[in-house]
Amino acid sequence: MASQSAKILVAAIDFGTTYSGYAFSFRHDFEQDACKISSHNWPAASRGLVSLKTPTSILLNPQEEFDCFGYDAEDRYTALANEDLHKNWFYFRRFKMMLHGSLGIKRDVKVKTFDSQKELPAMKIFSVAIKYLKDHLMETLNKRNTGVRRDDIQWVLTVPAIWNDPAKQFMREAAEKAGIDDLIISLEPEAASLFCKYMPIEKGTDDFKTFQPGNKYIVLDCGGGTVDITVHQVQQDKTLKELFKASGGAWGGTQVDEAFKQLIIKIVGSPVYLNFCEKNAADFVDMFREFELKKRGFSGEGNKQITIKIPVSLQETFEEDTGETIQEVLGQTSLSGKLKWAGDKLRISSILFATFFDKATTNIIEHLKKLLKEPEVEGTTNIIMVGGFSESPLIQKKVKEEFPKMHVLIPAEAGLSVLKGAVIFGHLPKTISSRKAKYTYGLATMTKFIKGKHREDKKETIGNQVKCKDIFSIHVEKGQTLELDEAQSDRSYNPVDPEQKEIIFQFYISDSEDPMYVTDSGCTHIGKMEVKIPDTSGGLDRQVTVQLIFGGTELKVKAIIQKTKKEVIAKLQFLDKD
């Protein structure tokens, strides 16, 4: 078994696009039963129900101070909007997706409020939200008289596996600002994979065989914002090996919400919709709460209509702004016969409602088909569906229909599998023994200029030497297997000036397996590292060896000054691009 954390307690925060929560377990409980994990039940006062996660919504007062989070934030903002007192408040929801896909994230990036009228630094919003969840967890532990101190806790924070390094660093720094120091970043599908590996499964069933040494399986993690897909193989020592680099896209449950929103806009028009949102913020929140409930239970089976309660204020806004009625307009569109709008009820045919899922399901299915053709993945017969969006009966049905020969395993707690798996990962952070490189990693260097091989515009003369600049010195190739904590391909570099007292290494990634120059298409600057070499007596003969170390979910760099054997270990500053 992989080495275990020495901390008394592991606490995980699953910071999701649509919903967030926390869970924890004590080391002594984990040793007896890995799945003995405690989580919090969140009451939604306005609806009289209890949820295992709370919406990722946060409200700050007009002084930009934290007021409330989750269901409380939704309800308070709605109450303020009903009294037309909300305009000076700062309400944010579903803001996590701003970090998806961008390699150019800066620390000072701003995030817009729900009404798009104001903005605040994203780092502040993320850190305040994480701090709320951290403080709530500490309060829960105190109420239970556990005696657990801050130093006794190993914290874990989840991020999508398809996120890039700058986004991971942004989340880490937000957590540190929230007062979390001892932190491990957990990749969401990996966490879910661990939960499924350890969850109680009856021996002798096909589910149990999935996790036997040698078996490989796909983890399909469908969340609110992203769909994260990874492929694991169980090793003889029961650790997990990643067979293919993490992949996926922004195909989560919010795609279904967007399709519903576009239907409303198609009916009433964009100006009316925007006017409604601005003047009736409370009704907007209620409308999408209503849609969320219908979305979750929709299976696509049968021909019955789905009825959604629509705010009367939307119809009133339409009639005031256009002078027409909804019914008149619907009769003139291609939607006639597929839906009926009467009073505060919108009745949508099952066939039309199913189309809201089309974009998400098409992307998921096509990507899985492509993935299963990869040499490393061929022969895989198991798909594990996890994440809140995987609880959708329609999503489950589509995957099973498209892959009838695959064994599709859906754990009973699919929506909590990432959160609870992150707790297990905190206890056993070395359980994932190897991963695949998503990019080619390297740094910019100079080499001797060779006419005919190198581009003329890259020629540079330094002293009496003719050099070629911007060479991409490859340390890790895209798709390469990265063993946990092992240094990847030592490469040695020398100063270009005999009087040089420091070397600044500029690091790059590339979508290509074999880039020649760091300026090639698909190459991106990801950070830098400074190494001091104050003793100039060696002139140009002062070697510095650089190693990249993929220690778990984050990248570290080690530089060794050969003359003194002094080591410099640093995490790349992905958010400093200057």
Q: What is the pLDDT of residue 203?
A: 40
Three-state secondary-structure class, residue 525: strand
pLDDT at residue 457 tops 60: yes
Q: What is the pLDDT of residue 463?
A: 84
418 and 475 together in one domain: no
Q: What is the pLDDT of residue 549?
A: 83
Domain's final residue, options 399, 432, 465: 432
Three-state secondary-structure class, residue 219: strand
**Per the domain annotation, does 340 fall within a domain?**
yes
Q: What is the pLDDT of residue 82?
A: 87
Mean pLDDT of the chain: 89
CATH code of residue 543: 2.60.34.10
Q: What is the pLDDT of residue 315?
A: 92
Three-state secondary-structure class, residue 342: strand
DSSP label at 414? G
pLDDT at residue 1 tops 60: no
Tell me how far apart the terminal alpha carbons of the chain are, to the nearest angstrom: 43
**Per the domain annotation, does 506 fall within a domain?**
yes
488 and 423 together in one domain: no
Domain's final residue, options 309, 333, 355: 355
The CA-atom distances, in angstroms, between 44 and each of 41, 69, 98, 295 are 10, 12, 26, 18
332 and 423 together in one domain: no
| Residues 202, 188 contacting (CB under 8 angstroms) | no
DSSP label at 457? G
Tell me the pLDDT band of 28, cut-offs 50, 70 and 90: very high
Q: What is the pLDDT of residue 165?
A: 82
Q: What is the pLDDT of residue 2?
A: 54
Q: How far apart are CA 12 and CA 420, in angstroms?
A: 8
Tell me the pLDDT band of 102, cut-offs 50, 70 and 90: low
173 and 284 together in one domain: no
The amino acid at residue 114 is F
**Per the domain annotation, does 236 fall within a domain?**
no
| Residues 195, 424 contacting (CB under 8 angstroms) | yes
Mean pLDDT of 376-392: 93
**Per the domain annotation, does 407 fall within a domain?**
no
Distance of CA 446 to the CA centre of its chain: 36
pLDDT at residue 271 tops 80: yes
Poorest-pLDDT segment among 203-207, 401-405, 447-451:
203-207
58 and 98 together in one domain: yes
Q: What is the pLDDT of residue 100?
A: 83
pLDDT tens digits for range 189-247: 999 999 998 886 534 455 656 788 899 999 999 999 999 999 999 999 888 999 999 99
The count of structural domains within the chain is: 3
- H helices of 415-497, in order, are 417-427
DSSP label at 398? H
Domain boundaries, position 487 = 437-571
pLDDT at residue 166 tops 90: no
422 and 452 together in one domain: no
- Of all residues in the chain, the percent with pLDDT exceeding 70 is 94
190 and 307 together in one domain: no
**Per the domain annotation, does 84 fall within a domain?**
yes
- Of all residues in the chain, the percent with pLDDT exceeding 90 is 60
The CA-atom distances, in angstroms, between 71 and each of 52, 293, 418 are 12, 15, 21
Tell me the pLDDT band of 574, cut-offs 50, 70 and 90: confident
Domain's final residue, options 402, 432, 462: 432
**Per the domain annotation, does 94 fall within a domain?**
yes
Q: Which residue has the higher pLDDT, 343 or 299?
A: 299
Q: What is the pLDDT of residue 488?
A: 76
pTM of the model: 0.87
Mean pLDDT of 91-105: 84
Tell me the pLDDT band of 50, cut-offs 50, 70 and 90: confident
**Per the domain annotation, does 375 fall within a domain?**
no
- Among residues 542, 553, 541, 437, the alpha carbon closest in space to that of 489 is found at 437
68 and 83 together in one domain: yes
Q: What is the pLDDT of residue 202?
A: 39
Distance of CA 333 to the CA centre of its chain: 39
Q: How far apart are CA 392 and CA 312, in angstroms?
A: 29
Q: Is 329 exposed, middle or buried (0-12, 13-18, 19+ CB in 10 A)?
A: middle
**Per the domain annotation, does 473 fall within a domain?**
yes
192 and 170 together in one domain: yes
Q: How far apart are CA 17 and CA 145, in angstroms?
A: 32
271 and 187 together in one domain: no
pLDDT at residue 485 tops 90: no
Q: How far apart are CA 179 and CA 161, in angstroms?
A: 24
Matching residue, tokens 């060794």: 560
Mean pLDDT of 385-407: 95
58 and 117 together in one domain: yes
The CA-atom distances, in angstroms, between 271 and each of 16, 268, 277 are 31, 8, 10
- Among residues 254, 259, 224, the alpha carbon closest in space to that of 348 is found at 259
pLDDT at residue 92 tops 50: yes
Mean pLDDT of 110-133: 95
| Residues 440, 478 contacting (CB under 8 angstroms) | yes
261 and 185 together in one domain: no
Mean pLDDT of 418-435: 92
Calculate the dihedral angle through the C-alpha atoms of 350, 351, 357, 361, rounding to the nearest 10 degrees.
Answer: 130
Calculate the dihedral angle through the C-alpha atoms of 327, 331, 335, 341, rounding to the nearest 10 degrees.
Answer: 20
